[in-house]
């Protein structure tokens, strides 16, 4: 069966995020004042799996082995 997953990868709370800091500063220079800014990457994937359970495991495997660094990232998998 073909499954569609949305995987969100973001920095764990408390991790320094220099990219977000830079974007916040750049927005300020353009006149947009932000109280806070967090960034995340979202991957929309389609892949074959035997069952919904198996599809979740496959997607989590992708996160653990490539898409996320478990030391600094939190990730979530949503199957459609």
Sign of CA dihedral 49, 54, 59, 64: negative
Nearer to its own copies, 66 or 71 (CB): 66
Q: Which of 2, 16, 18, 80 binds its own copies (CB under 8 A)?
A: 2
What's the closest the beta carbon of residue 62 comes to its own copies, in angstroms?
Answer: 5
**Cβ–Cβ under 8 Å, residues 79 and 52:** yes
Interaction between residue 43 and its own copies (CB under 8 A): yes
- Distance CA(36)–CA(56), nearest Å, equals 32
Q: Which of 13, 66, 71, 80 binds its own copies (CB under 8 A)?
A: 66
Q: How many CA atoms, within 13 angstroms, populate the side-chain half-sphere of residue 53?
A: 0
Interaction site with its own copies (CB under 8 A): 2, 8, 23, 26-27, 30, 32-48, 58, 61-62, 65-67
């Amino acid at each position: 069966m073909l499954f569609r997953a949305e995987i969100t990868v973001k920095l764990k709370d408390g991790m320094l995020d220099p990219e977000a800091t830079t974007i916040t500063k750049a927005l300020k220079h353009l006149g947009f004042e932000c109280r806070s800014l967090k960034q995340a990457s979202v991957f929309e994937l389609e892949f074959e799996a035997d069952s919904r359970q198996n599809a979740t495991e496959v997607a989590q495997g992708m996160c653990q082995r490539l898409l996320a660094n478990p030391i600094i990232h939190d990730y979530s998998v949503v199957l459609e």
